[in-house]
Homo-oligomer: A and B are copies of this chain.
Amino acid sequence: MTESSWGVKAILHESFAEIAKAAAHPHRLALMEHLAQGERNVDALATVTGLNLANASQHLQSMRRAGLLSARRDGKFTLYRLADDSVLDLLDAIGRIATSNAAAVKEVVSSYFNERDAMEPVTRRELRQRMKAGTVTVLDVRPAEEFALGHVPGAINVPVGDLKRRLADLPRSKEIVAYCRGPYCVFAFEAVAALRAAGYKARRLEDGLPHWRADGLPVAL
């Protein structure tokens, strides 16, 4: 009985290691960040991450084998997506360890969080209430393709690169809440900084669309 547990432990640790290994590459993390926004085909993912097609395909397959992704065929496209919301938890856990224990990350984060209180994010709960009350403008600063895969209902899509030239689209009367891909997507930080510089009252939403969706909150298409 206890002899058998030797092998069991080994099997579990080996399986766990395969999952961690599948997440343990910068390119694969980038791919997952994009996949968290919604289903995408290989070519689109390769383009957006700047990877060679075959290379992207191999990374995606290795993550699929490990159980991080699932794939389905649609016509001549292979559409990949995150296997599960638990994959988001994994990414969150890694991020939390990084922000508290990795020097490089602490530095980057603090350079974006320099106005500590001011950058304090709006919670999903709070945003939901203020949306109902109509006291806030929601701004989605991701690229249009990602916006198209799902966004916070009523949000305005202005990719961060277009923000300066499209300030006129945004009402000055209400506070603006900006969001993007996730807790470590810098677009929302940059957007808030730019908006404030232009005299707007702006804050960012905690995390991004993937967490909003995983929380069971409504998503518009």
Contacts and interface: CB of A to CB of B under 8 A. Distances in A.
Interface of A: 1-2, 5, 8-21, 23-30, 33, 66-68, 83-84, 86-87, 89-98, 100-102, 104-105, 108, 160-161, 184, 186-187, 190, 193-194
Contact of A84 (B24, B87, B97): B97
A19 B102 CA distance: 9
Copies of this protein in the assembly total 2
Contact of A190 (B1, B17, B20, B27): B1
Contact of A98 (B8, B16, B25): B16
B160 A67 contact: no
Nearest to A160: B2
B97 A19 contact: yes
B97 A83 contact: yes
B30 A26 contact: no
Given A26-B10, A160-B2, A161-B2, A15 B86 contact: no
Contacts of A91: 16
